[in-house]
Amino acid sequence: MSTLRGKQKRYLRAQAHSMHPLVNVGKNGLSKIWLDQVEDAIEKRELVKIAILQNADVDVTDVKTYIEENSRIEIVQTIGRILVVYKRSDNPDNRDFSNEVDAI
């Protein structure tokens, strides 16, 4: 798995700026089922925002560590309780951002 360079992360952060969080972490916390939902969403979109709700038992560091250790998803940015995550789609039809990231 390749690590994103600074310019690539900057491009992805700019693209994610106007997005709303698509996935939430709530009181049920982190689980394999939750991670499967994130991976399904990211397979279709490549770039996803995750919000950690106020009633969650985990914090941003826990979520980052869980994602990095259990998947190939890369953390692009964290702001407060919001994470921006990215993974190149396996389906060429869903590659909206990865083609541009590869060109940078």
C-alpha to C-alpha distances, 22 to 15, 16, 77, nearest whole angstrom: 14, 11, 15
Spatial separation of the C-alpha atoms in residues 46 and 33, rounded to whole Å:
19
Report mean pLDDT in 10-residue bins for the chain, 104 residues.
80 92 86 91 92 90 91 92 91 83 84
Burial (CB count within 10 angstroms: exposed 0-12, middle 13-18, buried 19+), residue 41: middle
**What pLDDT is stored for residue 2 in this prediction?**
53
Residue 30 near residue 81 (C-beta atoms within 8 A): no
Supply the pTM of this predicted model: 0.85
